[in-house]
């Protein structure tokens, strides 16, 4: 089996995307399946045909504006049968772009204060969450407006209701994995973060079913 040619794209506002992208690359590098390239800030990297070499896009970005050429390059690339992994603030990118939000499967609404909370496994049979049990994190919990058709694999309580932490969905022929954890570099180095990230990336990159 060949390696998954992976682009880690990081940038934007608010978050420590440098520290978080380093932790993301460290996590993925623990698995030999990924051949990793990193791009910082340059959204023109998304314009066709610039993404053609990549099987998987791992995205850590906040807010920003995306042009039609950048949007179409990204969305069409994933729809053609590639993988997309959105981490934390990927659900708070390009607020004025409903098509991007539709691909991710949801978007950021608000968050309570940075705190410890419990993540519960909603589907213990999916290959991403198989064998995992509930765990505690200290992170910024994202409260999301999300498409009810996404496949929620893990969640956390907020005001008595379950809020997704991990989900999967399809986009055309492609696969989308979203992980709400990872507000800062410390959160990205929680022991469960690389497990979920690697498994989600393998799934989105179609090495596991």
Per-residue model confidence as pLDDT tens for the chain (209 residues): 589 999 999 999 888 899 999 999 999 999 999 999 999 999 999 999 999 999 999 999 999 999 999 999 999 999 999 999 999 999 999 999 999 999 999 999 999 989 999 999 999 999 999 999 999 999 999 999 999 999 999 999 999 999 999 999 999 999 999 999 999 999 999 999 999 999 999 999 986 65
Domains of the chain with CATH codes: 4-204 (3.40.50.880)
Predicted TM-score (pTM) of the model is 0.97
Q: What pLDDT digit, counting tens, does each position of 72-84 carry? A: 999 999 999 999 9
- As given in the structure block, the two tokens for residue 48 are 């066709």
- What contacts 47, CB < 8 A, 6 or more positions away? 69, 70, 73
How many C-beta neighbours within 10 Å does residue 184 have?
17
Please state, in angstroms and rounded to a whole number, the distance separating the CA atoms of residues 51 and 59.
13
pLDDT of residue 208: 61
SS (H, E, C) 5-54: EEEEEEEECCCCHHHHHHHHHHHHHCCCCEEEEEEECCHHHHCCCCCCCC
């Amino acid at each position: 089996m060949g390696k998954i040619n992976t682009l880690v794209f990081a940038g934007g506002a608010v978050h420590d995307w440098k520290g978080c992208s380093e932790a993301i690359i460290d996590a993925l590098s623990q698995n030999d399946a990924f051949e990793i390239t990193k791009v910082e800030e340059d959204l023109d990297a998304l314009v066709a045909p610039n993404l053609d070499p990549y099987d998987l896009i791992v995205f850590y970005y906040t807010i920003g504006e995306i042009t039609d050429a950048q949007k179409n390059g990204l969305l069409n690339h994933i729809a053609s049968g590639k993988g997309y992994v959105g981490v934390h603030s990927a659900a708070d990118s390009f607020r004025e772009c409903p098509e991007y939000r539709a691909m991710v499967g949801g978007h950021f609404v608000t968050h309570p204060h940075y705190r410890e909370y419990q993540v519960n496994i909603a589907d213990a049979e999916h290959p991403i969450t198989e064998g995992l049990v509930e765990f505690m994190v200290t992170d910024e919990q994202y409260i999301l407006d999300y498409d009810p058709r996404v496949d929620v694999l893990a969640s956390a309580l907020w005001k008595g209701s379950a809020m997704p932490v991990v989900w999967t969905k399809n986009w055309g022929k492609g696969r989308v994995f979203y992980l709400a954890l990872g507000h800062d570099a410390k959160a990205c180095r929680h022991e469960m973060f690389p497990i979920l990230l690697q498994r989600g990336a393998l799934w989105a990159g179609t090495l596991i079913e």
